[in-house]
């Protein structure tokens, strides 16, 4: 059985897609739960503005929110973000390692 390029792309970018969705949801939940007085940028309507930015710009808005609002909160939040990113990298490395076949196992080589 031969693996085609579309299957390889699905295997490689599947974990990245899952990470993007989880990251976006994590940021959206933080924005919704955050009290109005904890927004450093935007004034009294900052929460509504950030919710709209995150919804309409997707990952880009979530990244901006993370670096401008969320990351400035605490070191623990930054560690959670790094842990999510590291877990995605590990999953991608593990998946890529499935495609590396040692020459001793290859009978046609």
Give helix 75-97 / helix 5-33 axis angle, nearest 10°. 170
Report residue 71 as tokens. Answer: 């990351």
**pLDDT band for position 70 (cuts 50, 70, 90):** confident
More confident residue, 52 or 2: 52
Return d(Cα 73, Cα 75) in angstroms, integer. Answer: 7
Query: Does the predicted TM-score (pTM) go above 0.75?
Result: no
């Amino acid at each position: 059985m031969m693996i085609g390029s579309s299957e390889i792309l699905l295997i490689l970018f599947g974990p990245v897609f899952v990470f993007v969705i989880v990251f976006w949801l994590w940021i959206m939940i933080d924005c919704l739960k955050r009290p109005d007085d904890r927004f450093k940028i935007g004034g009294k309507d900052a929460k509504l503005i950030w919710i709209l930015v995150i919804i309409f710009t997707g990952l880009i808005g979530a990244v901006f929110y993370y670096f401008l609002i969320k990351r400035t909160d605490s070191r623990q939040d930054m560690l959670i973000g790094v842990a999510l990113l590291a877990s995605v990298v590990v999953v991608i490395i593990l998946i890529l390692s499935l495609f590396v076949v040692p020459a001793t196992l290859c009978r046609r080589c």
